[in-house]
Structure 1
């Protein structure tokens, strides 16, 4: 990123990013931006991701960053990961959780007919894994006082997005873990937050049914437009730096203003036209959703 200004916000700091897969992933961008802001970086993902992703490429771009194999749903894996991390780096200054997966979404299961084994897997991978990372980091003395822990969320944790399905439940769990852990971590000056990002074209995001329409809608509803993965990484760097040492237990919206909007004029006009065009309304199944008169 030679055209980008760097400020040395993370100079002298060390951290680990869990979950980057390829250039489209937010975790990838956070690792790269943190490195360019002066941090020493370690990268972690499951073994299959190391085979099918481009993680070696990311490691090279981050100063030959160590790559640690870890399934964040397995206690023993997480424990070993932090033991290995501490041997390589000593205690780190930040941990980034960029992990999420839903087999129910992949298989396009209706929310009313979720496969419960997959549902539990969604909650474990996308939510409980944060608790596991924090807990084993503390047990192994692998995070410094005054450190920062950051996870990625989405507004579907608080509002209904039809096709986001059980991932909405997982993000609610993720944010609840942040609130529950916050006061406990504060005793050591460690803060923990989530970023609620715009819909972003990642491997996971683009697998959601109707994602393209979600992305277009969000862009029209956001005064500043959708935030990209790279822009999210730039924001994340501030939350990993000492500039935000008193920010904790927050779900911070990084979405171009979408979360605070009721409606934009283009969307109002678009909805008005659609509701009064019988052929269009029929094509997009609006007939069942006509407002009361």
Structure 2
């Protein structure tokens, strides 16, 4: 029912077909959007294959390291020059090393790195990619955005709660949410919306490599009133923000986690 014909979208953060960002890109494409994706050298072939397989134009897909403002500018200006003002931007980028996230590998006897020992340099690189990049992208995109444009980022409830195995990434998500709030205020004169979707635990390639994640999914299945969520569930909500239905919504953190965030205690399966 959402018609995004002739709308222009850029999506940052697709890694493969399990990525939430990919499912958002697919929803945008199917709603009529012209979608441009970024990739990095190790994801290039996968991203281009996915785009071609689903009928997306790869002409504007580009190699973009979100730590590089010039690369972001080249990408967004290429989209702007070729397709027109940008209506939608998804920021779905996150990265944290094992030392930052403090998890052990599945099947490993090695203990998880300690939170108290997170290396500062590793944390700052993770922050640069996972949080500050939203500010950097918006700084570049500002003059290139269409009227009533919408920017959306992906966060996680670990910004407010303790999730073992998420460690320093929780710092990044807390910072990301704060950056989102200030950007929502900053763009008030131009009418650009900036919001965040706080997704429940989705089984992506990244999360699948964390020891204990399947146990957390089992807990979520019975604890969340509506159970676990999928990447497609998150993408459905993202499409609301990437439409005229949310024209007066900004600075919002929208939970798509089956209601897990409202629970004060875990519920055991009976």
Scaled by the length of structure 2, the TM-score of the pair is 0.91
1:37 aligns with 2:31: yes
Q: Which sections of structure 2, spanning at least 5 residues, go unmatched?
A: 105-111
2:95 is aligned to 101
1:64 is aligned to 57
1:132 aligns with 2:136: yes
1:188-208 deviation digits (Å, cap 9, x = unpaired): 111011100010111222223
2:228 is aligned to 226
Aligned length: 258
1:264 and 1:111, CA in 2 relative to 1: closer, same or farther beyond 3 A? closer
Q: Distance in 1 between matches of 2:191 and 2:50?
A: 30
Residues 219 and 268, structure 2, Cα contact 8 Å, conserved in 1: no
Q: 1:150 aligns with which of 143, 149, 152?
A: 152
More helix by percentage: 1
Q: Distance in 1 between matches of 2:9 and 2:228?
A: 27
Q: Which sections of structure 1, spanning at least 5 residues, go unmatched?
A: 1-6, 270-293
How far residue 64 of structure 1 moved from its aligned partner, in angstroms, is 2.0
Scaled by the length of structure 1, the TM-score of the pair is 0.84
Q: Distance in 1 between matches of 2:86 and 2:8?
A: 5
SS at match of 1:20: coil
Residues 199 and 255, structure 2, Cα contact 8 Å, conserved in 1: yes
1:27-72 deviation digits (Å, cap 9, x = unpaired): 0100001100111100112222214xx2112221143243111000
1:198-228 deviation digits (Å, cap 9, x = unpaired): 1011122222331111211122211111110
Q: 1:117 aligns with which of 112, 117, 121?
A: 121
In terms of Rg, which structure is larger? 1
Q: Distance in 2 between matches of 1:225 and 1:201?
A: 14
2:248 is aligned to 246
2:200 is aligned to 198
For CA contacts below 8 A with separation 6 or more, give which structure has more relative contact order: 2
1:96-147 deviation digits (Å, cap 9, x = unpaired): 0110110123774221111221111111111001111101111xx2211201
1:50 is aligned to 44
